[in-house]
Structure formats: C-alpha cells, structure tokens
C-alpha cells in the first residue's frame, strides 16, 4: 500500500481536522500507522486517485449487518467500516483497501470521485484518549489487487487482513462444523423450562441421526431471573424453572447433544458502582469494561458456566452496552460525545479488544459465539460470529433481509476471521416452511454455522426430512468447493448461487413478492 497523499489529525472531538497539531506525530511505515500524542481523537489519511466511471463500491459493517450490505454506486458520505472494494464495470477489475484485524482504532473508509480516506477513530468513549506521550500502533493498512472476480478479490482481501491470526484448522473445542438447536425463534425467551430445553436437545439429536459430529443444544435468553435481556448476575437460573443448570447441562449431554448457554456480560439488573458513564437506556446498569472489577466478574461467569458443564457460550449485546447504540445508529460518531471510560489512557478499540481477549482466555476449551460483537476486533477471539441481525420465527421478511444478505456478503470471512453464523433457520407455524426450507438448504450447503429454532408444533414428516437432510449436510461440512452468490453485484439477497459445480436458484419471495413492510 503506497503512502497517503495527506494526513489530518484531531485532538478533541470538537476540533476541526488539521494537517498538524502540537504534540501529535503520525508515522507511516510499510502500511503501519503509529500515533504519538498527549491526547488524540481522530486521524484521517487521504489518498488521491480517480474513481472509475460507474464504479460499484462495497464495504463491511461495524458489528452485525442489518440487511444493508450491497454493492452501490458512488456515495461520498457512505461510511465503509474496516475495508472497501471498488469494482470497475468497464474493465471487470476489482481493487480496494482495508486494515488488519484487531487494530487499536475503529477504522472506516469513505470513497469519492477523487480518492479515498481512511478514518481512524482513536477516541476513548466520547472524548480524546489520553495517550500521555505513548506511541500507539493504530492500524496496518493493506491494499487489495484484483484477484480475478469480485468474489475472489473479497476472499483474497479477507485472507490478507487476517494474516496475523493463527491458521484455522478445526479448533479442539469445536471438533467439527457448528450445528445445533437454539430455542429463541419459537420461545423468544418466554414460556420455556428445562423440559422444553431437553425436548430441543432430543429433537436435534434425533435429526442428526447418529452423525459422528455431535450437535449443540443452546439455551438462549430467558433462563435466569429478571426477564428477557435484563442482565446478570449470572449465578443461577429462574427458581422453579432452572434450579440446577449443571443438571440441565448433564441431561443435554446424556441425550446426545452438547449444551450451550447465552448471556449478556456487560449488563446487570441493579445499578452498579462499576457502571459505564456512557449513554444507555438502562443508566447505571451497563458495565464499564475498562474496569478490572468488571473483567473479574466476567471471568467468574465464564468459569461458572464451564463448571456447570456448558461446552458453548454465546455472549451478546456488548457493543450496544458499550456504545449505547446498535451498528446502524453508530455511524461515524460511534457514540455520544462527552463521556469517557474509567481508564481514559486507552482507545475504545483497545478496551474492547482487551475485553474480548479476557473472554477468550476465560473460556478456554469452550466454543465461543460472539453476537453484537465487533467483527474486525473479535476475529481470532471468537469461534463463531453472528454476522447479521436477527432472523425471525414470526416474520419471514426478516429472515430474507437479514439472513440471506449477511451470508452473501460476509461469507468470505468464514473460517478466516471466525466461523460465520447467518443466524437461525426457523421452523415455526408463523413462517412459511417452503421459504425457510430454502434458507436451510443454503446455510447447509455453505458449511457455515447452522442453528435451528424448531417449534415442536411445526414438525411434520416433510419438515423432519428436510431438517434431517440439511443437518447431515451441514455436519459433513457443506458442499465440497463451497458456495458463491452469482448475482450479488445487483441483488442484496441473491437468488442465484453456485454450489460446487452446480448452479442453484432460490426464490425468497412469496408468490406476490417481498413484503415492503419487512
């Protein structure tokens, strides 16, 4: 990657970007950007380069995507987190740039007709980071050359950005493709108990039909006192419903599945002295991950889950609990101005990375799923990443919009950053099985993580046969040679796919078309 043509800095969030500032030094060496400063908020690096006429541009997302990933014509204000690609329709070539995973800044790009800009957000919460003269390795920038097709170029780009990560042979705790049951999309955290959880485990073990790779059975949100997504402490289940979670985990194993558990590590049910000063709809209850006491508590939670016998843990909501917003609302501001973490000497990215590393270390030997986690920071620190927003057991349009879109545009991240999870395939009375069945087929062929929310009331001989076939294919690792969307340049939920040597077409719409209310 060649050196930028200009560099701009911002000390305080209210300052204008300038070409220099007292006490701030920015260096570039073989793509690595280092910043030395007393205080710093942002650095912008600018490259001058004419954009091809009619170019199509693709970027990523801060955390999950929300049905919004797409190739799009030039839009100078469009924020492109982490990396971007530019496809020239005249020459057929695709090029771009990005940053290595696990940077110490929140990194995004903008692309206009005269060039592109890398924005390094180096703030601490909503204020400047007090580096106090420390030299921060902010990010390493990579340029992407054309690799043959847009799909091949994105695959090569993802591989380039993850060269610092260890190779991803099957991790010991995973022991094969990640496939299993998850009760959220028929239970939605309500009206389920241990009996229902064990029924889910029985169902997934039965449908796996003796496959040597054992499926998981995940107890999602709603197993603890306080109501849905209400927060910890995570030391007990709801009395009279989950009185013995170690016993529940053991019973799931006895049935022939591997037990998994959901939790929200940075929220508590009562106000805490370790709370964040950041914006939140539950003030005083969102915890500050820069505090050692908070990390001590998270480590204790993960040790407890392991002691109970759970082999998979899904940690959720941490981006929302840190920033006070989900990805689409974060935009370039990320969070409100005017607040900082307990430790103001580290960037937000450094604090989030340290949080993920603590979880990974504490969950040694456990399969980790990150949900609402920042993909470019979580890469290498989770086994599985929920790459898109929720599918639905009540509204098929959410599954079409969220699930198909995230699989199509983030599939190249699979088994490089982490195993991709495009979210659950529902089997519920409220959603059309003829459409869910196609989504099941696509996920199973992809070899990505496959979770299923199977309402016992929706099971028929037809659904069971399709579920059995899909689960076996997924447990086998998907279609040899992988899959690829072939109409993704012009379709946000691709219908045309290549699976191995086979062309496959899916129809994601009801007979009268997609629901515009979805």
- pLDDT surpassing 60 at residue 517: no
**Residue 348: which residues within 8 A CB-CB, separation 6 or more?**
106, 121, 123, 124, 125, 322, 334, 335, 341
Q: What is the pLDDT of residues 280-326, one digit of tens each?
A: 999 999 999 999 999 999 999 999 999 999 999 999 999 999 999 99
- Which helix (H) or strand (E) covers residue 26, if one does? strand 25-29
Q: What share of the chain is helix, strand, coil (3-state, %, to 5)?
A: 25, 25, 50
The whole-angstrom separation of Cα 444 and Cα 467 is 10
- pLDDT surpassing 90 at residue 415: yes
Question: What is the pLDDT at residue 174?
Answer: 53
DSSP 37: -
- The beta-carbon contacts of 466-469 under 8 Å, at least 24 apart in sequence, are 466/433, 466/437, 466/440, 466/441, 467/207, 467/427, 467/440, 468/207, 468/209, 469/444
Strand boundaries in 354-501, DSSP class E: 367-370, 384-386, 419-421, 425-427, 450-454, 483-485, 496-499
Q: Which residues of 353-385 are buried (b: 16+ CB within 10 A; e: fewer)?
A: bebbebbbebbeebbbbbbbbbbbbbbbbbbbb
Per DSSP, the three-state class of 427 is strand
Residue pointed to by tokens 């991950």: 289
Q: What is the pLDDT of residues 421-452, one digit of tens each?
A: 999 999 999 999 999 999 999 999 999 999 99
**Residue 300: which residues within 8 A CB-CB, separation 6 or more?**
none
The larger pLDDT score, comparing residue 168 to residue 510, is at 510
The whole-angstrom separation of Cα 495 and Cα 491 is 8
Backbone φ and ψ for 275, nearest 5 degrees, come out as: -70, 155
User: 111: which strand partners?
Assistant: 116
The whole-angstrom separation of Cα 204 and Cα 183 is 11
DSSP labels, 56-78: EEEE--SSSB-S----B---TT-
- Which helix (H) or strand (E) covers residue 318, if one does? helix 318-323
Question: What is the pLDDT at residue 199?
Answer: 98
- The beta-carbon contacts of 429-434 under 8 Å, at least 24 apart in sequence, are 429/455, 429/457, 429/458, 430/393, 430/394, 430/395, 431/392, 431/393, 431/394, 431/395, 431/396, 431/399, 432/396, 432/510, 433/458, 433/462, 433/463, 433/466
Q: What is the pLDDT of residues 37-50, one digit of tens each?
A: 999 999 999 999 99
Question: What is the pLDDT at residue 166?
Answer: 79
**Residue 326: which residues within 8 A CB-CB, separation 6 or more?**
63, 64, 66, 319, 320, 372, 389
Residue (of 277, 253, 9) closest to 124 by Cα position:
277
Q: What average pLDDT is seen over the chain?
A: 96
- Which helix (H) or strand (E) covers residue 47, if one does? strand 42-48
Look up residue 19 and give its two tokens.
């070409």
Q: What is the pLDDT of residues 322-349, one digit of tens each?
A: 999 999 999 999 999 999 999 999 999 9
% pLDDT > 70, the chain: 97
Residue pointed to by tokens 């091949």: 152
Q: Is the peptide bond before 79 cis (omega within 30 degrees of 0)?
A: no
Give the residue-averaged pLDDT of 464-486: 97
At 176, the pLDDT band (50, 70, 90 cuts) reads: confident
**Residue 150: which residues within 8 A CB-CB, separation 6 or more?**
58, 71, 85, 87, 94, 488, 489
pTM over 0.95? The answer is yes
Question: What is the pLDDT at residue 511?
Answer: 66
- pLDDT surpassing 80 at residue 169: no
Q: What is the pLDDT of residues 113-151, one digit of tens each?
A: 999 999 999 999 999 999 999 999 999 999 999 999 999
Question: What is the pLDDT at residue 171?
Answer: 42
- pLDDT surpassing 60 at residue 187: yes
Question: What is the pLDDT at residue 241?
Answer: 96
- Which helix (H) or strand (E) covers residue 108, if one does? strand 106-112
């Amino acid at each position: 990657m060649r050196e930028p043509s200009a560099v701009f800095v911002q000390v305080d969030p209210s300052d204008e970007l300038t070409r220099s500032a007292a006490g701030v030094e920015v260096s570039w060496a073989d793509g690595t950007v280092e910043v030395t400063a007393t205080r710093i908020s942002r650095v912008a690096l600018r490259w001058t380069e004419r954009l091809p006429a009619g170019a199509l541009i693709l970027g990523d997302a801060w955390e999950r995507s929300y049905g919004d990933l797409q190739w799009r014509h030039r839009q100078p204000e469009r924020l492109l987190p982490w990396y971007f690609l530019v496809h020239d329709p005249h020459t057929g070539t695709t090029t771009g740039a990005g940053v290595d995973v696990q940077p110490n800044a929140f990194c995004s790009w903008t692309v206009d007709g005269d060039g592109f800009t890398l924005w390094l957000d180096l703030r601490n919460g909503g204020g400047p980071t007090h580096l106090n003269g420390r030299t921060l390795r902010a990010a390493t920038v990579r340029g992407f050359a054309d690799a043959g097709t847009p799909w091949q170029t994105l695959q090569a780009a993802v591989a380039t950005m993850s060269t610092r990560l260890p190779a991803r042979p099957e991790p010991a705790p995973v022991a094969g493709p990640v496939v299993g049951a998850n009760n959220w999309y028929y239970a939605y955290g309500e009206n389920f108990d241990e009996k229902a959880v064990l029924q889910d485990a029985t169902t997934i073990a039965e449908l796996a039909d003796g496959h040597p790779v054992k499926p998981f059975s995940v107890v999602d949100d709603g197993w603890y006192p306080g109501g849905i997504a209400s927060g910890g402490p995570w030391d007990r289940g709801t009395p009279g419903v989950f009185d013995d979670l170690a016993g529940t985990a053991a019973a799931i194993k006895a049935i022939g599945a591997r037990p998994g558990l959901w939790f929200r590590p940075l929220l508590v049910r009562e106000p805490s002295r370790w709370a964040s000063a950041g914006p939140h709809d539950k003030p005083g209850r969102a915890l500050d991950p820069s505090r050692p006491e908070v990390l001590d508590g998270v480590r204790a939670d993960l040790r407890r889950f392991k002691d109970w016998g759970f082999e998979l843990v899904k940690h959720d909501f941490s981006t929302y609990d840190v920033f006070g917003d989900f990805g689409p609302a974060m935009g370039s501001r990320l969070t409100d101005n005017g607040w900082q973490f307990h430790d103001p000497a580290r960037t937000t990215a450094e604090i989030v990375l340290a949080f993920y590393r603590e979880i990974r270390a504490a969950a040694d030997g456990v399969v980790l799923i990150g949900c609402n986690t920042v993909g470019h920071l979580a890469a290498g620190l989770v086994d599985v990443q929920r790459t898109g927003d929720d599918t639905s057991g009540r509204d098929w349009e959410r599954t079409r919009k969220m699930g198909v879109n995230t699989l199509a545009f983030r599939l190249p991240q699979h088994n490089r950053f982490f195993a991709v999870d495009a979210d659950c395939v529902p089997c519920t009375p409220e959603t059309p099985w003829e459409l869910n069945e196609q989504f099941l087929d696509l996920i199973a062929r992809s070899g990505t993580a496959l979770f299923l929310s199977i309402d016992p009331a929706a099971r028929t001989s037809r659904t069971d046969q399709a579920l059995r076939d899909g689960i076996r294919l997924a447990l086998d690792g998907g279609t040899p040679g992988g899959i690829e969307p072939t109409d993704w340049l012009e379709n946000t939920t691709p219908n045309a796919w290549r699976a191995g040597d086979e062309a496959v077409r899916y129809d994601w719409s009801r007979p009268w078309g997609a629901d515009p209310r979805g």
